[in-house]
């Protein structure tokens, strides 16, 4: 089945995500997951919350808020006192991209991606490549820190955005 702009055409479950991140599924059941975020304020009903451990805060501190907002499972480094399935991994930050890839059914497989790196001139090069490809009739979208319609997002958001680009015929540049 193909994906639709509204989400994956087939259901992705917490068990599927646990397999994708090589984690351990703990807790009540295997639930369907429709989206993913590491920001408890952005979580929507049916989503996975990624409890990222940072330098100043542990995402586990916000997991209860995420569940209250509708998160049906949590990707975490330690077992939390919550009544939702938890996917235990050694490093949440390192596992987020794989979780998002599983939930959004690997949207990058539908597009060509060009990355531009370096010290100076990246924004100019991205703008030029985007214009050249667009003028050549190649549907194009750009992403960058200074330019374009979108700044570079976190892996969960990136995967969600990419999922809709091929449906619109827009490979990413």
Mark whether 132 and 62 lie in a shared domain. no
- Structural domain includes residue 154: yes
Q: What span, in angstroms and rounded, lies between the C-alpha atoms of 110 and 172?
A: 10
Domain count, the chain: 2
Domain that holds residue 127: 109-168
Please list the ranges in the chain whose pLDDT falls under 50.
1-8, 150-151, 159, 166-168, 170-173
pLDDT in tens, 117-137: 888 888 888 888 888 988 998
Query: In whole angstroms, what is the distance from residue 93 CA to residue 97 CA?
Result: 8
Cα 44 from Cα 92, distance rounded (Å): 19
pLDDT at 145: 62
Q: Are residues 33 and 87 in the same domain?
A: yes
Nearest to 128 by CA among 149, 151, 148: 148
Q: Do 57 and 19 share a structural domain?
A: yes
CB atoms within 10 A of CB 140: 21
Is 93 in the same domain as 42?
A: yes
CATH of the domain at 48: 3.40.1390.10
Cα torsion for 19, 23, 28, 31, to the nearest 10°? -40
């Amino acid at each position: 089945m193909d994906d639709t702009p509204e989400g994956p055409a087939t259901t992705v479950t917490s068990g599927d995500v646990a397999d994708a991140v090589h984690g351990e599924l703990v807790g009540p059941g295997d639930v369907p997951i429709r989206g993913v975020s590491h920001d408890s304020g952005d979580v929507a009903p049916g989503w996975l919350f990624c409890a990222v451990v940072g330098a100043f805060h542990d995402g586990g501190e916000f997991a209860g808020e995420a569940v209250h907002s509708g998160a049906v499972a949590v990707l975490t480094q330690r077992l939390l006192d919550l009544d939702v399935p938890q996917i235990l991994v050694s490093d949440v930050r390192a596992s987020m991209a794989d979780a998002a890839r599983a939930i959004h059914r690997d949207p990058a497989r539908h597009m060509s991606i060009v990355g531009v790196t370096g010290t100076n001139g990246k924004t100019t090069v991205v703008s030029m490549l985007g214009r050249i490809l667009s003028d050549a009739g190649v549907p194009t979208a750009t992403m960058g820190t200074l330019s374009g319609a979108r700044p570079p997002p976190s892996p969960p958001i990136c995967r969600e955005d990419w999922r809709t680009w091929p449906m619109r015929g827009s490979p990413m540049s």
